[in-house]
Amino acid sequence: MDNSPNRTPAPQKKRGRAPRPIVPFPSPLWEDWDDPEDFAEALDLHMRRHKDTGYGLRRAVCGRDDKVESTTFTAWRRGDKAPRSATSFRILAALERRWRLPPGYFRAKLHHPGRMISNEALIPLPEPERRRMAWHLPDDFARLPQAKRDEIVAWVKSVIITGATDYRRFQATAMKQRFAMQFSATGTIRPNAGKYWPDDGRTRPVAAPPALDAEAKDLLEFKCATLTSRGRQRAGVWGPDTADQKMEHLGLMLGALVASPDGDVGGFGVALADVTFGLLAFPAVWDWYLGWRQKRRGFFTQWESEMLILGASLCRRETGWLRQTPALAERLTPIEGLITAADVAAAHADWNAVCDEQHRHALIRAKEIARVSRVHRDPFEPILPILEADSPVGEYRKITEEVLRYRPSRRRHPISAAESTRAFLMLRFGLHLGLRQKNLRQLLFKPRGWPATPERQLEALKRGELRWSARDNGWEVLVPAAAFKNAGSSYFRKNPFRLVLPDLGGLYEEIAQYIATDRAVLLRGATDPGEFFVKTMKSRSREAAYDQNTFYEAWRVTIQRYGIYNPYTGRGAIEGLLPHGPHNVRDVLATHVLKQTGSYEQASYAIQDTPDTIAQHYGRFLPQDKAAMAAGVLNKVWAA
């Protein structure tokens, strides 16, 4: 026996059974099988067919740097987790090659086939932007060359996120500069609202100081109250939505006056303490604001003309709020380059004369701007590929079918499935009803078997309702005329809008499922607002009811994910489509009826309006369609 210290010890054998050799393409135990629709069931089936384990697959298809454990395959197999990363998708492709399955076999069975996650190294953007962009990236994004990745990201940001039109680019830039004055009476003051600091050039939302806030409250009460205060007169009343819009526009004007001239906004730099609604009685203030808007946009639009009409109405004799509030003159102080001491003295001496001058000035300026104003936002541009189709409604319907095609499993992903159903119903209701956004999002509902809300009560609420009609054996939508923006139109003649939804394309099944389970899943125990469409409640959500902005955003996201054809992923229903909101559906309906009938009157029935309004605003009746329709009539003579 050799006991020398230099003897090399014999290597010890590892304990346990030796691992099976890696077989790149194992033979299946059986050839015929019933293909399951679910990803987890399909993975389990093929693992059993080829007698594979999670440990074996980890060795066979995962790279050395892949952070995937053998337990990951077990979690996928049980349905506890699902592939969501670029690495996971690469492993799925390797499994398809190993088991001789068609490319994309597993990808098509995933409950979220339209979603993936990319890390910050691949897309150096803030997390919210990466999350929005992840829906629109191809599966092999991580393996593409950097130049190709940059091309895809640029296309997604330009076409899908922003919208690729000149107006969308302008709007995206403007939205980043928040400078508007916010008033407590409209509920617009946000937690981060503060004051401007002229020396730093930064902008942020401005909470109106108490005196200015009191003036805004008085204006709202004057225009919105059922009865005016004693001694005052007015012409017209603002509804809630109109009030929010007008106060937002006035807040933008006052905010621009306060904004620092050295910042991105390029405001005038008026001290916050000197701001009062009394400034709106001076032509110099309006001329500065008009010049500021022209410089910012590059030209005038109808918006400036309408703003001037609002300013003129505030100074109108007998009914103007400014004219009937002479106390505003007490808060005026000279502002260098804007209002002189003589202007302030004139306001104290004769407030009516100052209002007369501003009223004349505003009307003259409105006419001048109307003559040179240009269209910045073409309402038809985002949906032009749909309007140019032979059947615009049939083209838009493709988006609803795309939503259902990518809807995940309710059992595995109940919230995402409920959101897909809600998106489907939003679009389908829009296509069948032709309602404005306000009427659609405020639509109440009663489940089948429940008594309908009396029409008089709906009229008081100014809302419509979806309810089951036993007489027609179908879902009926009834909206009182008072709920419409154009309630005084000859279309209504004080009669309600009533339509029984057709039981076509699986609509009734989706309504039943949404009411039975999906709507409650979205509410997640929150207070039910009673409206048919509700938001997805999260920990930071305050209420389940949609407002104008959140409903628009929900519609826009649906179009981004399912409507716009993405050449890099192959997903999306319509090539050339751009993001848009629910208002464009009315254009689709009007154009469809015009193309089919050539009648402005029949098109007006589709969107509850008058033929004159259709001819001026809503219908896009292309000249070649008119010629083709006339030729069809004349050609019948030769065919006889």
Write out pLDDT tens, residues 497-518: 999 999 999 999 999 999 999 9
Phi-psi region at 604: left, alpha or beta (left = phi > 0; alpha = psi -120 to 50): alpha
pLDDT given at position 605:
86
Residue 521 has pLDDT above 70, yes or no: yes
pTM of the model: 0.75
Cα separation of 608 and 37, whole Å? 43
- Residue 254 DSSP SS3: helix
Strand partners, 474: 469
- Taking only the tens place, the pLDDT of each residue in 621-636 is 555 566 666 667 766 7
Q: Provide mean pLDDT across the span 158-166.
A: 78
Distance of CA 221 to the CA centre of its chain: 31
Reported in sequence order, the residue ranges of 378-479 that DSSP labels E, i.e. its strands, are 444-445, 465-469, 474-479
Q: Is 201 left (phi over 0), alpha (psi -120 to 50) or beta?
A: left
> What dihedral do alpha carbons 563, 567, 571, 575 form, nearest 10°?
30
Judge whether residue 129 has pLDDT over 90: no
Q: What is the DSSP letter of 347?
A: H
Higher pLDDT, 175 or 105: 105
Range of lowest pLDDT (218-227, 448-457, 499-508, 611-620) = 611-620
Judged against a pLDDT cut of 50, whether residue 192 lies above it is answered with no
Give residue 567's pLDDT.
95
Strand partners, 445: 466
The pLDDT value recorded for residue 607 is: 86
Confidence of residue 439 (pLDDT cuts 50, 70, 90): very high
More confident residue, 2 or 126: 126
- Pairing, β 465-469 against β 474-479: antiparallel
| Percentage above 90 pLDDT, the chain | 49
Q: 246-276 burial string, b = 16+ CB within 10 Å, else e?
A: bbeebbbbbbbbbbbeebebbbbbbebebbb
Cα–Cα nearest to 476, from 498, 454, 461: 498
194-214 per-position pLDDT tens digit: 443 344 444 566 788 999 999
Q: Is the pLDDT of residue 125 over 50?
A: yes
Check residue 6 and give its pLDDT. 60
The stretch 106-129 carries a mean pLDDT of 65
Select from 465, 490, 521 the least CA-distant residue to 613: 490
The H helix count followed by the E strand count for the chain is 25, 6
d(CA 403, CA 397): 10
Closest CA to 101 of 168, 46, 21, 171: 46
Domains, the chain, in order of start with CATH, read 39-109 (1.10.260.40), 173-372 (no CATH), 381-579 (1.10.443), 583-634 (no CATH)
Yes or no: say if 424 and 403 are a contact pair by the CB < 8 Å rule: yes
Q: What is the mean pLDDT of residues 249-265?
A: 90
